[in-house]
Amino acid sequence: MLLLAASLWFVHPTPLDMPRAEAYLVKEDGVRRLEDRFNTLDLWTSRAVLGRWEDGDGRAFMVAKLDVLAPKFSETTETRTTYAASAATIDAKEDFDLRDGAIALLSPVDKADEPTRPHQPIRGLKETLYFQGTNTSAIVCAFLPEKATAWYLATWELIDGDDFDYSKEVFEKDFLGEWATIVATELPSERADDAPTARPRGRKAAAPDERALLRADAHHSVTNYASWHVTDADEFTILDHLPTAGGAFMMALTNDLKRMRAAYAATVPSPLDGSNVLCVARLFADRNEYLDAVGDDLQWSAAYWSPSRRELVAYLPEDGGGELLKTIRHEAFHQYLSYATAMIAASPWFNEGYAQYFEEGPDGPAFVDPADLVTLADGLPALMMMDYAQFYDGTDEARRLKYRLALALVYFLEKGAPEIRFQPFKDLKRDYIEALLRTHDMHAATREAFASPERMERFVDEWKKFWKNK
């Protein structure tokens, strides 16, 4: 028996994925910057789909707008800017082959060559076509509302035991009969001023702003879900599924991110032009919702930075936002450094060290326990040459020690190294970032930043003196 007989909309909203980005370091007119490129099909799909929902039994519901021409080749890549400037519209009155091609790309089952129509016309729709053929595991319906200029697609994936004919009746009554006009005329994404718009084929368009396009994509991923909210600032966008009571935390987080991003940039300056990038954070209401979204590989986590999706993901713990702010500061530094180095992986001693350093706020920790640090000095050169597999390897105790040493390294760089006569390590951070951008190799960057074994030895000696006197 279908649990959704009363309404298809008694389902859980599933935020849309941001498209996966590939990073390129480019230089134009002497200015270096990160350039994100995307699989064109992924970019098109992320914008065509208006929303996804799921019920407790696993039935999945999706709505898409078929107004933009789908890419001809699935392996092509391009930037958001080039895509937005070249995207062409599908004419709802003429481009039926293009419409059907878009349906084939989005349908959860093979699209039938010949569609069927409902037994009775549906009020508010010019036309309704079913494309699931003889497949009874899903409903695939394209519909054209009376006042719309584009076709829409709705798919409903059923589960074992569902009666297909009854499901189709429910679909027509509870979705097409009541919601089709709303999809065409009232969904926020259909009237958003900042959303990228397609253009007729053959017409040139001005290049849009990359940051604005990224922000529009972030908005689009939740804008058709009434329970999700969006907060914008100059350099970041926060998407949250928090209850109304979470407003105080959101205000604290917004203010905190502003000052933290300024602190990141002042402490670890980037030589890149960052005007085209945006800090995107997505906050789930609770841990269960977060775990459903992040997948099996991250069930242990409380928050994470997803470089490919270009978003920081977290959830609000039951005990409130105090620890969450620390976690977000940590992950937001990973996000900042990823952009600052054009997504070239920095060494874990540098990346994890500074992420811990900023957990307590923009000025770093007030205290770091110096106990036994001096006895561990001989292991610093090896630690600084570790990759992430080596850094994360070992027992929990071994990992905690590596994290502690990484924090002690960057704490010394910030609090101890500036006090050394003639400041021999004053440019170490700058040299490290520049070497990383040039070599694309975290190990080579560490070697070049220290320049010689003698300089590394001097660094370790000064580090030991600093912690010995603590």
Per-residue pLDDT tens for 20-62? 999 999 999 999 999 999 999 999 999 999 999 888 888 999 9
What is the rounded CA–CA span in Å between residue 4 and residue 346?
49
Q: Which residue has the tokens 């020690």?
A: 401
Q: Measured between alpha carbons, how far is residue 26 from residues 23, 36, 40, 341 in Å?
A: 10, 10, 20, 12
Choosing among 3.40.30.160, 3.40.50.300, 3.30.2270.10, 3.30.70.270, the CATH entry for 227-342 is 3.40.30.160
What pLDDT is recorded for position 384? 98
Domain-wise residue ranges, the chain: 12-208, 227-342, 344-470
Nearest to 356 by CA among 400, 421, 299: 400
pLDDT digits (tens, 9 = 90+) for 55-92: 888 899 999 999 999 998 778 999 999 999 888 999 99
The model carries a pTM of 0.89
Q: Which two tokens stand for residue 39?
A: 């699989």
Which class for 242: exposed (0-12), middle (13-18), buried (19 or more C-beta within 10 A)?
buried
pLDDT digits (tens, 9 = 90+) for 419-463: 999 999 999 999 999 999 999 999 999 999 999 999 999 999 999
Residue 179 has pLDDT above 80, yes or no: no
Per the model's pLDDT, the better-predicted residue between 123 and 278 turns out to be 278
What is the rounded CA–CA span in Å between residue 354 and residue 356?
5
pLDDT category at 390 given cuts 50, 70, 90 is: very high
